[in-house]
Structure formats: C-alpha cells, structure tokens
Structure 1
Amino acid sequence: MKIIVLAGSNRKNATSTRLGEYAVEVMRNQGHEASLFDLYQTPVPFYAPDEKQAENHNLAELNSRMLAADAIILTTPEYHGSISGVLKNALDHLSQAHFSGKPVLCISSAGGAVGVSSLLQLQAIVRNLHGINAQEWISIGGAQRRRFEATFDGYEEYEGSQDIEDRIQRVIGSFLSLAQTLTSARKSSESGERGNEDD
C-alpha cells in the first residue's frame, strides 16, 4: 500500500515529526510504500481561496501524493489544546477527494500531558472530509517524548521506552490491517465498475 505521513510541525526536529518518521520506518519494514511529507521542510502557502495557488510546487506535490495514497497518517504537536496552525493550513488546501473512504491514523505529541484535544479535533476534520478514522490513536507527552527527541542516541534506557515503541507498533499494525481491508474493498469496487463500463 501507499501510505503518506503528513507531519504538521513548523519546528526542526519536532518530536511529532520524528514520531512520523518512526511510523514510516515501521511500515516500510512491513513492505509498504510509506513516505513522509514534512511541512517544515516543504511548506505550503497560506490558504487563500481567492488566489490561484495551483502553481505552487510544494502544494502541487502535497496534492498529488495525498491523492495517490491508500492510507494517511496525520501527526501534530499540541499547541494550546489544539492542532498546529501549519497542519490546519495544509488540511484547508485539501478536500474530500484526498480523504474519502481512506483510513486515517492521528498522532500527537504534547509537552505536558498526552494531547487528546488535538486528536479529537483531527478526527472531527477527518470525518468532515469523509475519511475513516482508525479505531485507535497515538499520543505521547512529557517524558515519553524523550525517545523521539533529536538528541536521543538509541542507547539510552529510561522507564517506559520499550512500552512506548511496543504501543506504537501495535497501533500501527491495527491501522495497517484496517487500511488493507479498505484498500482491497475499494480496488475491488473500482474494478467492478470498470467491468460494468466494458459490458
């Protein structure tokens, strides 16, 4: 499957982005075509419906990669109990054509307690775009974020490190199972429609 991770932070080495990178690694190890779209590295313009923005290279890339994806992961830091502005801006550029019928996993990283408010808001946006929210989500907060900080060297040990990785891998596994089921059903339906057109 083709899976895009849309990383919604405007900060270099954001833990939410690094969490998205880890998700890409996990999915690639399972044979999927997973990729990251980092809004820090590849920013898109402010959404302005009265302006022609289709010529913007970064926006055109986001549009094509989202359309091609079989499944989507959205990652965000939690700011003031909400999703990041750059992620909301990117989502404003997108439509039901990018999300309809596709499974979506929401991920957040918060400096304090786990970021449930941002996840609830993301899931509401996904529903409005006719995407299908995964049954679970991933949220890390406080000391849990140490595993995904830029200075983490991979040799550190701290309480709960393996538990976090195990939980993330379990949720991604569940998400991939849902994505496989929905992708197979969608492709079967599209194949049937093409067959009817040929009759």
Structure 2
Amino acid sequence: MRIAIIIGATRRESTSAKLSAYIADIMRKEGHEATLFDLREKPLPLYNDDDEEIHPNTAELMDTVLHADAVVLSTPEYHGSLTGVLKNALDYLGKDQFNDKAVLPVSSAGGAVGVSSLTQMQTIVRNMHGVNSPEWISIGGAQRQFQADGTPESQDVRNRVERTVLYFLKFAAKQRA
C-alpha cells in the first residue's frame, strides 16, 4: 500500500516529525510505501477559496494524498487543538483525496496525551468521508524522548506505536478491499 503521512509541525526537531518518521520506518519494514509530507519543509499558502492558482507545494500535497491508499495525520497539540498548518493543509483537501481511505491520527503533546487534537482530526476526516482508524497514537510528556537513530527511548512507546501501526495497516488493507 501507499501511505501518505502529513506532518503538521513547524518546529525544528519536532517530536511529531520524529514520531512520523518512526511510523514510516515501521510501514516500510512491512513492505509498504510511506511518503512523508512535512509542512515545515513544504509550507502552503494560507487557504483562500478565491485563489485560482494552486501553489506547487499544495499541488504536490493534493496529488500525494489522492494517490495514497491510506493517510496518517500527525500533529503536536497546541492549546488543545491540532496545529494551524495542519488545519490549513486539510482545508485544501477534501472528499476527492479522502473518500473511503483509512486515516490514522497521531499526536504529540507536552502534557500527558493529546486527545483533543486526535478527536478534532477524526471530526475533520469524517467530514471529508475518510474512515477513521479505531486506534490512534498519542505520546506526551516523558514519552516524547527519541534516541539518535530516531526510535523512541521508551520500550513501552515503541511497542505501543508498532502495535498500532500494524493494526492500522491491516485496517487500511481491509478498507481498500
């Protein structure tokens, strides 16, 4: 399967970006194609429905998600919500890109967990006719530590992320069938 992973973080050394790269590695080890679309590296203009021209980064995002079999949305949680850059990116997308595709929400929070951002992403996905995974990934506090090789320091976090990603891959394959 082809999986698009959209990283909605703008901070250098972002925990969300590290977690997304770790998720992509697990997916690749399972034989899947995982494409990271990092909104820090490929910023989008502020969404304006009146704009007639499509920015090259926006066109690339739309094409990446359109041709993906499943999608991962990854965000830090700021003030109980997903980031503005991720919401802006999602405003450019819609049913054409998400219809009947499995979507895994992922959050990294400074506090214990990022449940608010996860539920908000699920609401947005549902409105774009995507299919929310029953499982999600959230890390917070001390769980946000990563080793130099990009793996989470905590064995518990590694196990939980791997278990959820493997579940999501099965869920996405069933959704495609």
Query: Amino acid of the residue matched to residue 27 of structure 2?
Result: M
Say whether residues 1:172 and 2:171 are aligned partners. no
- Compare CA radii of gyration and give the structure with the larger one: 1
Query: Amino acid of the residue matched to residue 133 of structure 1?
Result: N
Say whether residues 1:142 and 2:135 are aligned partners. no
Tell me, in whole angstroms, the C-alpha distance in 2 between the residues paired with 1:131 and 1:156. Answer: 29
- Local SS of the residue matching 2:89: helix
* Contact map agreement 2:22 2:150 (CA 8 A) in 1: no
- Normalised by the size of structure 2, how large is the TM-score? 0.96
Tell me, in whole angstroms, the C-alpha distance in 2 between the residues paired with 1:126 and 1:164. Answer: 25
Higher helix share: 1
What's 2:117 paired with?
Answer: 118
Tell me, in whole angstroms, the C-alpha distance in 1 between the residues paired with 2:150 and 2:13. Answer: 19
Identify unmatched segments of 5+ residues in structure 1. Answer: 186-199
What's 1:188 paired with?
Answer: none
Query: Amino acid of the residue matched to residue 58 of structure 2?
Result: L
Supply the RMSD in Å over aligned alpha carbons.
1.6
- Local SS of the residue matching 1:139: strand
Identity of aligned residues (%): 51
What's 1:153 paired with?
Answer: 148
Query: Amino acid of the residue matched to residue 39 of structure 1?
Result: L
What's 1:24 paired with?
Answer: 24
Give the deviation of 1:65 after TM superposition.
0.6
Residue by residue over 1:9-53, the C-alpha shift from the partner in whole angstroms, topping out at 9 and shown as x without a partner, is 111221011100111000000100111000000111100111123
Query: Amino acid of the residue matched to residue 153 of structure 1?
Result: A
Count of aligned residue pairs for this structure pair: 177
Give the deviation of 1:156 after TM superposition.
10
Tell me, in whole angstroms, the C-alpha distance in 2 between the residues paired with 1:157 and 1:63. Answer: 30
- Normalised by the size of structure 1, how large is the TM-score? 0.86
- Local SS of the residue matching 1:143: helix
What's 2:128 paired with?
Answer: 129
- Local SS of the residue matching 2:145: helix
Query: Amino acid of the residue matched to residue 64 of structure 2?
Result: R
Identify unmatched segments of 5+ residues in structure 2. Answer: none
Tell me, in whole angstroms, the C-alpha distance in 1 between the residues paired with 2:150 and 2:71. Answer: 31
* Contact map agreement 2:77 2:83 (CA 8 A) in 1: yes
Tell me, in whole angstroms, the C-alpha distance in 2 between the residues paired with 1:62 and 1:157. Answer: 27
Residue by residue over 1:107-166, the C-alpha shift from the partner in whole angstroms, topping out at 9 and shown as x without a partner, is 00001120100000000000000100001100000000012xxxx3359996xx111000
Query: Amino acid of the residue matched to residue 148 of structure 2?
Result: D
Tell me, in whole angstroms, the C-alpha distance in 2 between the residues paired with 1:167 and 1:137. Answer: 10
Query: Amino acid of the residue matched to residue 14 of structure 2?
Result: A
Instruction: Call closer, same or farther: CA 1:6–1:113 in 2, change over 3 Å.
Output: same
- Local SS of the residue matching 1:72: strand
Instruction: Call closer, same or farther: CA 1:157–1:80 in 2, change over 3 Å.
Output: closer
Query: Amino acid of the residue matched to residue 15 of structure 1?
Result: T
